[in-house]
Amino acid sequence: MSLYKKTGTLLFGTRLKRLSDKFFNDLSIIYADQGIRFEASWFPVFYLLSRHKEVTISKVAGELEITHPGASQIVTALKKKGFVNIQQNKEDKRVKKVILTNAGKEKLSEIKPVWRALLETMHELPRSEGASSKALELLEELEDEMDRVDLVDLVEKKLQFNRFLEKIEIVPYAEAYHEGLMALALNWIAENPDTIQGNMDWINQTHKLVYESQTHVILLAVLGDRTIAACAAAIDAPTQTARLTLIFEKEQISDQIIQILLDKTSLELEKKGITEITASVETASSNILKLYQKNNFKLKEIEEGATVSFAQLYKIMG
């Protein structure tokens, strides 16, 4: 057992500082690795100005729970860097307001993606079950977690993933994407020969079903010149129902992409007056089943296939 844990509350403040130092050191590395020049002490003012067009120095002092001179010192330091301007209030010249300069706005645009990735990473840090509610034990758990994970690596992976998501377009089927859709379908069938159920006409007669008979809605997730996922809805107009089929590249797909496809497909079907959507999902695909459940799909029955079983799902629209 380390000295920090042996001494318990005697080094409580030191342990907090140690944890704080590690966090800010990791954050500094993250900023540096992204090529961003940003100091931790700048964060409070930048954060306030990301939420408000302008703030007073008194507002800064109140939010940070520091003295007015202390807040003024922080703001003055940012002014010297060229990130903010300090202006007098026209109604009350005693009140000074702080606004971002163009350089400050550019810096804010640089650091916002890091904030987002950091926030998401911190929320996703795994936690052990049965944690005590006592502050010291919670601190020990937090210290252990921070020692165990590589925050820099996790945040940078999150940044990379978010940039990947930004490159993906969700588009309706068009002839320009036909070759990519066929490649995706072939790959899916080769890897999942038992998981596509029912009528395959949506693949064989895509153009006719989408543009002529208009019995299908097909949305694609496109990355560059590749189609990495497709959601096809076969519409039965007399019964006002639609059946979904979802295919994707397992190496490239994510829950977020599937969620977007489901959301946009549901919106398109709602416009067409569909009252019920059904889907067939392999029971072994737990992540996909959870996503359907999250989207208010319910289990109708389990259907046994030749080698795999399927959950037959349904969702009442509206």
How do residues 160-170 score in pLDDT, each as one tens digit? 888 888 899 99
**Amino acid sitting at position 131:** A
Alpha helices, H only, 52-150: 57-64, 68-81, 102-124, 135-148
Burial grade of 246 (CB within 10 A; 0-12, 13-18, 19 or more): buried
Residues contacting residue 264 through CB under 8 Å, at least 6 positions apart: 170, 219
The reported pLDDT for the residue numbered 173 is 93
What's the token pair of residue 184? Answer: 């995706």
Number of H helices, E strands in the chain: 13, 10
pLDDT at 99: 94
Beta-bridged to residue 227, according to DSSP, are 222
Rounded Cα distance between 161 and 312, Å, is 32
Between 275 and 310, residue with greater pLDDT: 275
Whole-angstrom distance, CA of residue 292 vs CA of residue 43: 39
pLDDT higher than 70, residue 2? no
Q: Give 4's DSSP letter.
A: H
- For the segment 2-7, the average pLDDT, to the nearest whole number, is 57
Average pLDDT, the chain: 85
Backbone φ and ψ for 262, nearest 5 degrees, come out as: -65, -45
The residue extents of the domains of the chain are: 3-164, 168-316
Q: How far apart are CA 103 and CA 89, in angstroms?
A: 22
- Selected from 3.10.129.10, 1.10.3260.10, 3.40.50.1970, 3.40.630.30, the CATH number assigned to the domain covering 168-316 reads 3.40.630.30
Could you say which architecture CATH assigns to the domain 3-164?
Answer: Orthogonal Bundle (1.10)
Contact 215, 235 (CB under 8 A): yes
* All residues at 6 or more sequence positions from 105 whose CB lies less than 8 Å from its CB, including other chains: none
In the sheet that 84-88 helps form, which strands lie side by side, from edge to edge?
54-56, 96-100, 84-88
% of the chain surpassing 90 pLDDT: 41
- Cα distance between residue 60 and residue 27, in whole Å: 22
Q: Which two tokens stand for residue 289?
A: 């089943």
Rounded mean pLDDT, 184-206: 74
Using 50, 70 and 90 to split pLDDT, how confident is the model at 288?
confident
Task: Output the six-digit token pair for 97.
Answer: 């307001």
* pLDDT score of 286: 86
Domains 3-164 and 168-316 share a fold: no
Could you please report the per-residue DSSP string of 249-318? -TTT--HHHHHHHHHHHHHHHHHTT--EEEEEEETT-HHHHHHHHHTT-EEEEEEE-SS-EEEEEEEE--
Backbone φ, ψ for residue 104 (5° rounding): -65, -40
Confidence tier at 105 by pLDDT (50, 70, 90): very high
